[in-house]
Protein backbone atom coordinates (compact mmCIF):
# COMPACT_ATOMS: atom_id res chain seq x y z
CA UNK A 1 0.00 0.00 0.00
CA UNK A 2 1.40 3.40 -1.07
CA UNK A 3 4.66 1.80 -2.22
CA UNK A 4 7.28 3.42 -4.47
CA UNK A 5 5.32 3.03 -7.74
CA UNK A 6 2.34 4.92 -6.30
CA UNK A 7 4.44 7.35 -4.24
CA UNK A 8 6.41 8.47 -7.29
CA UNK A 9 3.30 9.55 -9.24
CA UNK A 10 1.00 10.53 -6.33
CA UNK A 11 1.37 14.31 -6.56
CA UNK A 12 1.29 14.36 -10.36
CA UNK A 13 -1.92 12.35 -10.58
CA UNK A 14 -3.82 14.27 -7.89
CA UNK A 15 -2.69 17.79 -8.79
CA UNK A 16 -3.18 16.84 -12.46
CA UNK A 17 -6.79 15.86 -11.79
CA UNK A 18 -7.47 19.22 -10.16
CA UNK A 19 -6.65 18.95 -6.46
CA UNK A 20 -5.31 22.27 -5.20
CA UNK A 21 -3.22 21.48 -2.11
CA UNK A 22 -2.51 25.18 -1.56
CA UNK A 23 -6.20 26.12 -1.47
CA UNK A 24 -6.98 23.12 0.78
CA UNK A 25 -4.22 24.11 3.22
CA UNK A 26 -5.47 27.71 3.32
CA UNK A 27 -9.07 26.55 3.99
CA UNK A 28 -7.94 24.23 6.79
CA UNK A 29 -5.76 26.97 8.32
CA UNK A 30 -8.75 29.33 8.26
CA UNK A 31 -10.90 26.68 9.97
CA UNK A 32 -8.26 26.20 12.67
CA UNK A 33 -7.78 29.94 13.25
CA UNK A 34 -11.52 30.52 13.70
CA UNK A 35 -11.28 28.38 16.81
CA UNK A 36 -7.68 29.08 17.73
CA UNK A 37 -6.56 32.47 16.34
CA UNK A 38 -3.03 32.12 17.77
CA UNK A 39 -2.38 28.64 16.30
CA UNK A 40 1.28 28.58 15.26
CA UNK A 41 2.29 24.89 15.11
CA UNK A 42 0.72 22.10 13.07
CA UNK A 43 1.25 18.36 12.67
CA UNK A 44 -0.15 16.60 9.58
CA UNK A 45 -0.69 12.87 10.19
CA UNK A 46 -0.73 10.46 7.21
CA UNK A 47 0.84 13.36 5.35
CA UNK A 48 1.75 11.32 2.26
CA UNK A 49 4.49 13.12 0.34
CA UNK A 50 3.99 16.25 2.48
CA UNK A 51 2.20 18.27 -0.19
CA UNK A 52 -0.19 19.98 2.29
CA UNK A 53 2.77 20.63 4.61
CA UNK A 54 4.64 22.48 1.88
CA UNK A 55 1.74 24.97 1.95
CA UNK A 56 1.07 24.83 5.72
CA UNK A 57 4.72 25.83 6.17
CA UNK A 58 3.88 29.32 4.85
CA UNK A 59 0.84 29.57 7.13
CA UNK A 60 2.20 28.32 10.48
CA UNK A 61 5.46 29.01 12.31
CA UNK A 62 6.30 25.32 12.74
CA UNK A 63 5.03 22.23 10.89
CA UNK A 64 5.85 18.51 10.97
CA UNK A 65 4.43 15.37 9.39
CA UNK A 66 3.87 11.71 10.30
CA UNK A 67 3.44 9.03 7.63
CA UNK A 68 3.45 5.22 7.60
CA UNK A 69 4.81 4.63 4.10
CA UNK A 70 8.59 4.93 3.83
CA UNK A 71 8.20 5.37 0.06
CA UNK A 72 5.83 8.34 0.42
CA UNK A 73 8.26 9.90 2.93
CA UNK A 74 11.22 9.30 0.59
CA UNK A 75 9.47 11.24 -2.20
CA UNK A 76 8.53 14.00 0.27
CA UNK A 77 12.12 14.29 1.56
CA UNK A 78 13.51 14.41 -1.96
CA UNK A 79 11.21 17.32 -2.81
CA UNK A 80 11.62 19.22 0.48
CA UNK A 81 14.67 18.02 2.43
CA UNK A 82 14.06 20.55 5.23
CA UNK A 83 10.49 19.36 5.95
CA UNK A 84 10.44 17.32 9.22
CA UNK A 85 8.73 14.04 8.21
CA UNK A 86 8.57 11.18 10.72
CA UNK A 87 7.76 7.58 9.90
CA UNK A 88 5.00 6.42 12.22
CA UNK A 89 1.67 4.69 12.54
CA UNK A 90 -1.29 6.90 13.44
CA UNK A 91 -2.53 4.20 15.84
CA UNK A 92 0.58 4.32 18.01
CA UNK A 93 2.99 7.20 17.18
CA UNK A 94 4.42 9.39 19.92
CA UNK A 95 6.56 12.39 18.95
CA UNK A 96 6.90 13.52 22.57
CA UNK A 97 5.71 17.04 21.80
CA UNK A 98 2.44 18.89 21.28
CA UNK A 99 1.11 21.13 18.54
CA UNK A 100 -1.62 23.79 18.38
CA UNK A 101 -3.34 21.81 15.62
CA UNK A 102 -3.21 18.28 14.22
CA UNK A 103 -4.70 17.34 10.85
CA UNK A 104 -5.42 14.03 9.13
CA UNK A 105 -6.60 14.75 5.58
CA UNK A 106 -7.87 13.15 2.36
CA UNK A 107 -9.63 10.29 4.17
CA UNK A 108 -6.42 8.68 5.43
CA UNK A 109 -8.32 7.83 8.63
CA UNK A 110 -10.37 5.35 6.54
CA UNK A 111 -7.34 3.03 6.58
CA UNK A 112 -8.34 2.15 10.14
CA UNK A 113 -10.10 -1.22 9.99
CA UNK A 114 -12.10 -1.31 13.24
CA UNK A 115 -13.61 1.18 15.69
CA UNK A 116 -10.86 0.16 18.16
CA UNK A 117 -8.27 1.31 15.58
CA UNK A 118 -10.28 4.45 14.84
CA UNK A 119 -10.40 5.28 18.56
CA UNK A 120 -6.68 4.58 18.92
CA UNK A 121 -5.84 6.89 15.99
CA UNK A 122 -8.05 9.78 17.15
CA UNK A 123 -6.56 9.23 20.62
CA UNK A 124 -3.02 9.66 19.23
CA UNK A 125 -4.01 12.78 17.26
CA UNK A 126 -5.57 14.24 20.44
CA UNK A 127 -2.50 13.31 22.51
CA UNK A 128 -0.41 15.56 20.24
CA UNK A 129 -2.37 18.78 20.87
CA UNK A 130 -1.94 20.96 23.94
CA UNK A 131 -4.79 22.63 25.88
CA UNK A 132 -7.26 24.26 23.46
CA UNK A 133 -5.73 22.26 20.60
CA UNK A 134 -7.62 21.60 17.38
CA UNK A 135 -7.86 18.24 15.59
CA UNK A 136 -9.15 18.27 12.00
CA UNK A 137 -10.03 14.94 10.36
CA UNK A 138 -11.31 14.57 6.81
CA UNK A 139 -13.26 11.30 6.84
CA UNK A 140 -13.94 8.76 4.11
CA UNK A 141 -17.54 8.37 2.92
CA UNK A 142 -20.15 7.22 5.45
CA UNK A 143 -22.06 3.98 4.69
CA UNK A 144 -25.05 6.04 3.51
CA UNK A 145 -23.07 8.47 1.31
CA UNK A 146 -20.76 5.92 -0.37
CA UNK A 147 -21.58 5.33 -4.06
CA UNK A 148 -21.30 1.56 -4.57
CA UNK A 149 -19.87 0.73 -8.01
CA UNK A 150 -18.35 4.20 -8.45
CA UNK A 151 -15.97 4.38 -11.41
CA UNK A 152 -13.64 7.21 -12.33
CA UNK A 153 -10.49 7.88 -14.33
CA UNK A 154 -7.98 10.54 -15.27
CA UNK A 155 -5.10 10.91 -17.68
CA UNK A 156 -2.59 13.59 -16.71
CA UNK A 157 0.67 14.88 -18.17
CA UNK A 158 3.62 15.55 -15.86
CA UNK A 159 6.68 16.80 -17.73
CA UNK A 160 7.36 14.23 -20.45
CA UNK A 161 5.38 11.56 -18.63
CA UNK A 162 1.70 10.68 -19.16
CA UNK A 163 -0.08 8.88 -16.32
CA UNK A 164 -3.48 7.22 -16.39
CA UNK A 165 -5.48 6.09 -13.36
CA UNK A 166 -8.78 4.23 -13.62
CA UNK A 167 -10.61 3.03 -10.52
CA UNK A 168 -13.63 1.07 -9.37
CA UNK A 169 -15.04 1.13 -5.84
CA UNK A 170 -17.21 -1.61 -4.42
CA UNK A 171 -18.91 -2.01 -1.05
CA UNK A 172 -18.10 -5.15 0.94
CA UNK A 173 -20.04 -4.91 4.21
CA UNK A 174 -18.68 -1.98 6.20
CA UNK A 175 -15.64 -1.65 3.96
CA UNK A 176 -15.12 -0.23 0.47
CA UNK A 177 -12.67 -1.91 -1.89
CA UNK A 178 -11.04 0.69 -4.15
CA UNK A 179 -9.26 -0.99 -7.06
CA UNK A 180 -7.09 1.22 -9.24
CA UNK A 181 -5.12 0.51 -12.42
CA UNK A 182 -2.27 2.83 -13.36
CA UNK A 183 -0.51 3.17 -16.70
CA UNK A 184 2.61 5.30 -17.05
CA UNK A 185 4.09 6.24 -20.45
CA UNK A 186 7.61 7.70 -20.62
CA UNK A 187 9.64 8.59 -23.74
CA UNK A 188 12.67 6.37 -22.90
CA UNK A 189 11.26 3.72 -20.53
CA UNK A 190 8.08 3.19 -22.57
CA UNK A 191 4.89 1.90 -20.97
CA UNK A 192 4.34 0.26 -17.60
CA UNK A 193 1.23 -0.80 -15.76
CA UNK A 194 0.50 -1.58 -12.12
CA UNK A 195 -2.49 -1.93 -9.83
CA UNK A 196 -3.40 -0.95 -6.30
CA UNK A 197 -6.11 -2.38 -4.08
CA UNK A 198 -7.21 -0.42 -1.00
CA UNK A 199 -9.70 -1.36 1.69
CA UNK A 200 -11.18 1.79 3.20
CA UNK A 201 -13.62 1.48 6.09
CA UNK A 202 -17.09 3.03 5.90
CA UNK A 203 -17.28 4.36 9.47
CA UNK A 204 -20.50 6.13 10.41
CA UNK A 205 -20.64 9.77 11.42
CA UNK A 206 -21.49 8.61 14.96
CA UNK A 207 -18.43 6.33 15.11
CA UNK A 208 -16.16 9.28 14.23
CA UNK A 209 -17.93 11.53 16.76
CA UNK A 210 -17.69 8.85 19.48
CA UNK A 211 -13.95 8.54 18.82
CA UNK A 212 -13.44 12.30 19.37
CA UNK A 213 -15.51 12.24 22.57
CA UNK A 214 -13.75 9.13 23.86
CA UNK A 215 -10.44 10.97 23.35
CA UNK A 216 -11.77 13.82 25.53
CA UNK A 217 -12.76 16.38 22.92
CA UNK A 218 -15.83 18.16 21.65
CA UNK A 219 -16.53 17.62 17.96
CA UNK A 220 -18.37 19.34 15.15
CA UNK A 221 -19.13 17.84 11.74
CA UNK A 222 -18.90 20.21 8.78
CA UNK A 223 -20.66 18.78 5.72
CA UNK A 224 -18.40 20.47 3.13
CA UNK A 225 -14.65 19.74 2.95
CA UNK A 226 -12.21 19.63 0.03
CA UNK A 227 -13.47 16.38 -1.50
CA UNK A 228 -17.13 16.66 -0.49
CA UNK A 229 -16.67 14.10 2.28
CA UNK A 230 -17.03 16.64 5.11
CA UNK A 231 -14.70 17.45 7.94
CA UNK A 232 -14.63 16.71 11.68
CA UNK A 233 -13.22 19.47 13.85
CA UNK A 234 -12.41 18.62 17.47
CA UNK A 235 -11.37 20.89 20.32
CA UNK A 236 -9.41 19.38 23.22
CA UNK A 237 -9.09 21.10 26.59
C1 LIG B 1 -5.17 8.94 0.74
S2 LIG B 1 -3.47 9.07 1.17
C3 LIG B 1 -3.40 10.77 1.70
C4 LIG B 1 -2.03 11.36 1.70
C5 LIG B 1 -1.99 12.89 1.95
N6 LIG B 1 -2.56 13.23 3.24
C7 LIG B 1 -2.67 13.65 0.83
O8 LIG B 1 -3.64 14.38 1.10
O9 LIG B 1 -2.19 13.55 -0.32
C10 LIG B 1 -3.43 8.14 2.67
C11 LIG B 1 -2.09 8.16 3.37
O12 LIG B 1 -2.26 7.53 4.66
C13 LIG B 1 -1.09 6.79 4.94
N14 LIG B 1 -1.41 5.80 5.98
C15 LIG B 1 -2.15 4.68 5.86
N16 LIG B 1 -2.23 4.04 7.04
C17 LIG B 1 -1.53 4.79 7.93
C18 LIG B 1 -1.25 4.65 9.32
N19 LIG B 1 -1.70 3.59 10.00
N20 LIG B 1 -0.50 5.60 9.92
C21 LIG B 1 -0.02 6.67 9.21
N22 LIG B 1 -0.26 6.85 7.89
C23 LIG B 1 -1.01 5.93 7.25
C24 LIG B 1 -0.74 6.18 3.60
O25 LIG B 1 0.57 5.67 3.55
C26 LIG B 1 -1.00 7.37 2.66
O27 LIG B 1 0.13 8.18 2.48
The answer, as to whether pTM is greater than 0.95, is: yes
Domain match, 63 and 164 both:
no
CA of 187 to the centre of ligand 1 (A): 30
Q: How many domains does the chain have?
A: 2
- For the packed helices 115-127 and 205-214, what is the interaxial angle rounded to 10 degrees? 50
Interval 121-175: pLDDT, tens: 999 999 999 999 999 999 999 999 999 999 999 999 999 999 999 999 999 999 9
Domain match, 128 and 184 both:
no
Is the beta carbon of 105 within 6 A of some atom in ligand 1?
yes
Indicate the pLDDT class of residue 227, thresholds 50, 70 and 90: confident
Domain match, 66 and 12 both:
yes
Is the beta carbon of 108 within 6 A of some atom in ligand 1?
yes
The CATH number linked to 112 is 3.40.50.150
Q: Whose CA is nearest to atom 9 of ligand 1?
A: 48
Indicate the pLDDT class of residue 39, thresholds 50, 70 and 90: very high
Domain match, 38 and 68 both:
yes
Domain match, 190 and 131 both:
no
Q: How far apart are CA 79 and CA 75, in angstroms?
A: 6
Domain match, 101 and 26 both:
yes
CA of 66 to the centre of ligand 1 (A): 9
Domain match, 18 and 75 both:
yes
Domain match, 73 and 190 both:
no
Residue 167 sits in which domain range?
150-201
Is the beta carbon of 121 within 6 A of some atom in ligand 1?
no
Interval 64-103: pLDDT, tens: 999 999 999 999 999 999 999 999 999 999 999 999 999 9
Q: Whose CA is nearest to atom 10 of ligand 1?
A: 108
Is the beta carbon of 13 within 6 A of some atom in ligand 1?
no
pLDDT at 187: 97
Amino acid sequence: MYDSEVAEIWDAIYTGRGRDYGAEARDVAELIRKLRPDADSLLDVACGTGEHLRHFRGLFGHVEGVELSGDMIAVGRQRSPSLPLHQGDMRSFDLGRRFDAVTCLFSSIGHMRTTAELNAAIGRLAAHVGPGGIVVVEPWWFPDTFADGYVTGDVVRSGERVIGRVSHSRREGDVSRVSAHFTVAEPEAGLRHFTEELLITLFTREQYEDAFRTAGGTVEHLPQGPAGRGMFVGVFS
